Structure formats: structure tokens, C-alpha cells
Chain A
Amino acid sequence: MLPSFAYVRPTTLKAAVAALAAPGTRAHAGGTDLLGCLRDRVFPADTLVSLAGLPELVGVTPTAEGGLRLGAMTTVATVAGHPDIAARYRALAEAAAAVASPQLRNQGTLGGNLCQRPRCWYFRGDFHCARKGGGKCFAVDGENRYHCVFGGETCFIVHPSDTAPALVALDALVRLAGAGGSRVVPLEKFFVPPSADFTRETVLEPGEVLTEVVVPAPPAGARSTYRKVRARGAWDFALAGAAVSLGIEGGRVKHARVVLSGAAPIPWRVPAAEQALIGHRLDGATIARAADAAVAGAEPLADNAYKVPLLRCAVEEALTALNS
């Protein structure tokens, strides 16, 4: 049973932002994560502010600069099946197609996929953990086979999104609307690591809402892919994954982004792996060096050391796929 709450559906962004400025409100996009959190009492809400009355937040349109603007209320299914995304931002199409199940992709939105809460079973369960304002992380010395191997500090969640690592690899920007107007931040800076603040996952302030994602024009010779490793062949979060975006000119890598999923509390960009690629031909030796670099410095917990070779192989497979 869901706890009781009020529901409003503003028809202007201004009204939505105003409604969200009130304490106890939560934005409702697709609701697939939110309703589960409310049902399980992960956090309360007095009022849900539905974004369904804002059609301007839905859709995929070209930008004047040769990129694409994706409204935050665009469903994950639409992102997965959009021909321009498949043609020019393959990593994003593949990541969106790998999200959850058909039903959840039909209901879940791109903005919601970026703003979803962690899946850590202590966070979701009856534990007053660090992220919920308690004193400690229960995972670090507890059951931690699905937790992070990078970036864990005070809190050891992994970021659950598939589209987030793909969009970070594609240098996406997000627009955040608030009472005083809107601001644009690189998606990479949208996510908050535990070292900065372990009580929140994003830089969204109370009363702010994510309205759109913009992917810039791909670099010359662009190719990208997303590799997701799950415990089973369907409907699951990533145990490990890699989003890779490259620009290859004259047979050499000129531009590289390597971003791990299932690895860290935020989509985990690995500059050392990118440097191992840039300036080189994408051959087996280069791929192996980059894959090694991608997992150098991993700090597994008691039960999740298996993730290190999985992550390495996810990077290797993604790069190998881009080489063919």
C-alpha cells in the first residue's frame, strides 16, 4: 500500500517549480522508482507534483548546434527506439534498451532514470544508513556484493542508471529549472559523489527540476557503445558495465570517453583509460591497456571483488565492438 499523499498536476513549468519549492513535495515523472520508494517508506512525501501536464518536457528534437535535445519526460522506450539516437548516439540507445523491462521503459522517463534513488538494500530497507541521515554505512562491513569498487567513501552505493554512464560518455548537459530561472550543468557534474555529500545523488536543489538533456554533436569519426553485464539475461541492474564513446580519425583515436556503470556511487569516468586510447590505433594491445587502466586502483569490498574483472571485460568488449 502506498502511504497517502496529495497530488497536483501543474500545466506550466513555472507552476511546477513553485509547487516543488514547498517542503514535503516530490516531483513525479514516470513514478516507477518514486512509487516503490514511497511504498517501502524509504522517504516520505506529502504532495506529489506530477510533471505529466508539461508536454514541452516530452520529445527529442535537434539543436541548432547539431546535437539533440531530449525532454526529461521522454520515456526510456522512446529513447531506446529513436532512429536519430540509434544512428548517432548508439551508446545511449543501447543503454536505454538495456534498462529494466519493456513495461518500465514504457513508463519510466529519461529524467527519472537519471534521478532514480540508489538500489542499496540497506538504503531501501529498514536501516537508518548514512545516506538517510544516520551515522553509518551498513554495506561497508555488511552484505556488499552489489556495492561499489570505486569512489566509496562513507557510502558505498552504485549508481543504478544505465543511461547516465552513456550520457556522460556522450558529454551530455542537463538543464535544471528553478524559481530563479534555469541553469545548465554538464551531466558529469550533476552527480554528487559521497566524498562531496553522501546524503544526495545529484546537485538538484529543493524546488529544482531536471527539464532536459542535451547531447552535443558527436565528434568526428564518432562511434559509441554500452555494454551491460547482468546476473541474468533480462530485467536487472548492472553488475558491471561500460559506456565508451570514441572519435577515430585517420585510424587513430582522437577523442575518448570511458565511463563505468555498476562500479561507483556516480557514473565513473576513467580518464586513465581514455588517455590509454588517445593517439593510438584501436588494436588489441591498446584495448588491453585501456581495459587494465579502467580498473586500476579498484578497491573491492569483502564480497564484490568479482566486479573488477567484470568491469575490465566490459571495457574490453565495448572497445572491441567499436573496433569492428
Chain B
Amino acid sequence: MEATRRTIRLVVNGKPRSIEVAAHETLLAALKERLYLTGAKEGCGVGECGACTVLLDGRAVNACLVLAVEADGRELGTIEGEARPDGSLSALQRAFIDHAALQCGFCTPGMVLSARALLRRNPRPSREEIVEAIAGNLCRCTGYEPVIDAIAAAAEEEAAEGSVVPPAASAGAGEGRGP
């Protein structure tokens, strides 16, 4: 196999996709330029800001620090997959609006996906667990409190609805534990 290009197969927001990528292409670049999913943002490009957060096999990762070729055979979740199947906003998305948990919006896709990873694993998180779950997502507008409020409110609503899919048995170990 040509070592500088590869065809990878992955499941993106529930749909199987096959794309050809360069060996040195990041997952973030492949998302934007091959799959035309522009929700994940490039902020720092070195894993410090979390604006490019996506879910890889259900876990939050920085798409700027994952090679696209390493996503071969895996499941990818992006902000474009967060809304309900009918296109209406998820409880989490609505809670961000209701709590004014965004201003410029650049961090929001990553913030929502970090929250989604948390709620899948831990449907009733404490405030401390929410804070830790978004520790890798920088926001320069909100001061974080509205974001935390939004995630807490969404957790309550989703837990009440029973709409949260339980995490896979293997997922969730450790991520988000306090130091």
C-alpha cells in the first residue's frame, strides 16, 4: 500500500464513509476538506484549546492531534451529529442557548461534544465533574459559569427524559476524574 496516501473507512455520525487521505493529514483537516463537516474549529492546532473536539469511539479527542489515517475503522461523532434525527436541537444544544452559554460561538461545538462525552458516560455528573470534563475547552467569552449551568441543566433534562444512551461497558474509565 502507498504509504503517503490511504483510503480509510469510518462511521461518521452514524453513517459509513470512505475517504482517501494523505498520511500527514489531520482528522480535523479531513473533516473539513473531505467530509465537508465544518463544525469542528481549528483554534490553536496543538491541543490546547479544544475547539476541534470530536468524539472518537465515543471519547472526546482533539481532531487537530489525531491523524486521519488513525481514525480508520473507528466511529466519529461531530457537532453535526448532535441534533435529533428530526433536525431539532438536542436538550444539550437548547440548554446552551437558554443559559447564554456562548457568545462568539467558536468554542461551542467542542464544548458541546465534551459535554456529550461526559453525559454519555455519566448522566448525572456533579458540578465538579462538569468542570473537569470541559477542562480542555477554552472559552474567552462566557467565563464558563453559563456553560457549566447549561450542561447541568441538560443533564437533568436528559436524565429525566431517559434519552441518554448508556455508555459502552469499556468506555468512560477515568476521563474527567478530578486531579
Q: Which of A92-107 contact B (CB under 8 A)?
A: 93-94, 96-98, 100-107
Question: Would you call B26 an interface residue if the criterion is a C-beta within 8 Å of the partner chain's C-beta atoms?
Answer: yes
**Complex contact A102–B65 (CB within 8 A):** no
Report which A residues bind B (CB closer than 8 A).
2-9, 28, 31-32, 35-36, 39-40, 47-48, 50, 52, 77-82, 93-94, 96-98, 100-107, 228, 234-235
Q: Which residue of B lies closest to A104 (CB)?
A: B47
Q: Which of B103-135 contact A (CB under 8 A)?
A: 114, 117, 131-133, 135
**Complex contact A31–B179 (CB within 8 A):** no
Q: A28-B67, A31-B67, A102-B133 are in contact. Are A77 and B173 (CB under 8 A)?
A: yes
Q: Which residue of B lies closest to A96 (CB)?
A: B174
Q: A2 → chain B, closest Cβ, in Å?
A: 5
**Complex contact A107–B179 (CB within 8 A):** no
**Complex contact B177–A81 (CB within 8 A):** yes
**Which residue of A79, A82, A96, A102 contacts B136 across the interface (Cβ within 8 Å)?**
A102
Q: Which of B20-61 contact A (CB under 8 A)?
A: 22-26, 45-48, 50, 53, 56, 59-61
Q: A5-B23, A102-B132 are in contact. Are A36 and B177 (CB under 8 A)?
A: no
Q: A4-B22, A80-B175 are in contact. Are A102 and B60 (CB under 8 A)?
A: yes
**Complex contact B60–A106 (CB within 8 A):** yes
Interface size on B, residues (CB 8 A): 41
**Which residue of A3, A7, A107 contacts B62 across the interface (Cβ within 8 Å)?**
A107
**Complex contact B47–A103 (CB within 8 A):** yes
Across the interface, which residues of B come within 8 angstroms of A235, CB to CB? 48, 135-136
Across the interface, which residues of A come within 8 angstroms of B172, CB to CB? 81
* Whole-angstrom CA separation of A39 from B28 in the bound complex: 14
**Complex contact B175–A7 (CB within 8 A):** no
**Complex contact B4–A6 (CB within 8 A):** yes
Question: Would you call B69 an interface residue if the criterion is a C-beta within 8 Å of the partner chain's C-beta atoms?
Answer: yes
Across the interface, which residues of B come within 8 angstroms of A32, CB to CB? 47, 62, 65
* Whole-angstrom CA separation of A267 from B29 in the bound complex: 36
Q: B72 → chain A, closest Cβ, in Å?
A: 8
